[in-house]
Amino acid sequence: MPNLIKNVQAFAHQKNLWKEGAKILVGVSGGADSICLFHILLALSKKYSFSLHIVHVNHCLRKKDSDLDEKFVINLAQKNNISISTLKLEKPLNFSNLEDQLRQKRYAFFEEIRKKLNFDSIAVAHHQNDQAETVLLRILRGSGLDGLSSMKAKNGKIIRPLLNISKKEILFYLKQNRINFRTDKSNFQQKFFRNKIRLDLIPYLEKNFNPRIQKNLAILAETTAEDFAFINNYAEKKCVFFEISENNIRFNCQQMLSLPVSIQRCCLRKAIKKLRGDIFNIEYGHLLEIEKIIKSSKNKNQQLFFKGLKITKKGDIVDLHL
């Protein structure tokens, strides 16, 4: 088994994830992945003079087990003389969209602490298997190039040092170094869509089609990200006709239709992201519905509603609002 710390170090250098003396928040749940990430960054901190700070969110979904996770992470911080910030989510959540809600609350807390402490970045423990799962999930939901490019090693203040590391390598590292971690039993529950992909679909594909499917999907995500970056930069220069105001983006249909279809869709994603802050759960079908309105020759005013957005068309003018 290759040296995991050296692999992470080489990947971080390739992706420019940090600099000497960086101040890094580390998201630690207590599970195998985040515990591995923490110990690797702790080891590298001696070489790069990192300042580390742990952030932990207790989602309170597993009652006693969630509290034990929190206690485990606090003890980890104290044992290694690392400061820590924790958040306890005690308000009930809507289970129909639970994964998205938890993700948003978790990242909002991480960013709040990063700004408060004036840290450089937030390290999270997504790895190669997570990347493969995300690609498959987005394919099944009808994603475009942006979705297929999936998670990036560096996205704003978020860094993912383990993104080219497999789950097998993580578990081997922990076992080899006798490092304890917590096991979240909800990761084995079929009620979450991502778990179905991890537990059922990927093992089926590995057994019946390609044992390297996870690595290949991760490579697909990276190469697609490079291609999409070029398209995205080109679209940025072509979206100058958008009129942007608070909670509203307006454009002329004829100007939009003069662009190649791929650039039109990229511009629409940019507009939606500008309004919502993200394009999570925005699928290919949603873009097609907007395109229908843009191309429509009907004289009457038209409206469309989805994912908290309102799209209206009057004459040749389209407005996107929250």
Phi, psi of 249 (to 5 degrees): -130, 130
Residue-level pLDDT at 93: 58
pLDDT digits (tens, 9 = 90+) for 63-112: 899 999 999 999 999 999 999 999 998 765 565 567 778 888 899 999 99
Asked if 170 contacts 36 with a C-beta cutoff of 8 angstroms, the reply is: yes
pTM of the model: 0.83
What are 3's two structure tokens? 């040296």
Phi-psi region of 210 (alpha: psi -120 to 50; beta: other; left: phi over 0): beta
- Considering only residues 282 and 264, tell me which one the structure prediction assigns the higher pLDDT: 264
What are 218's two structure tokens? 């991760």
Residue-level pLDDT at 94: 61
pLDDT digits (tens, 9 = 90+) for 39-53: 999 999 989 999 999
Q: Is the pLDDT of residue 173 over 70?
A: yes
Phi, psi of 156 (to 5 degrees): 65, -125
Asked if 183 contacts 33 with a C-beta cutoff of 8 angstroms, the reply is: no
C-alpha span between 168 and 2 (Å, rounded): 12
Q: Which of 51-65, 137-151, 190-204, 250-264 has the lowest mean pLDDT?
A: 137-151
What are 108's two structure tokens? 């909002």
Q: Which residue has the tokens 């939901």?
A: 141
C-alpha span between 111 and 88 (Å, rounded): 16
Q: Is the pLDDT of residue 10 over 60?
A: yes
C-alpha span between 198 and 49 (Å, rounded): 37
Query: Which structural domains are found in the chain, ordered by start?
Result: 4-218 (3.40.50.620), 239-321 (3.30.465.60)
Q: Is the pLDDT of residue 268 over 80?
A: yes
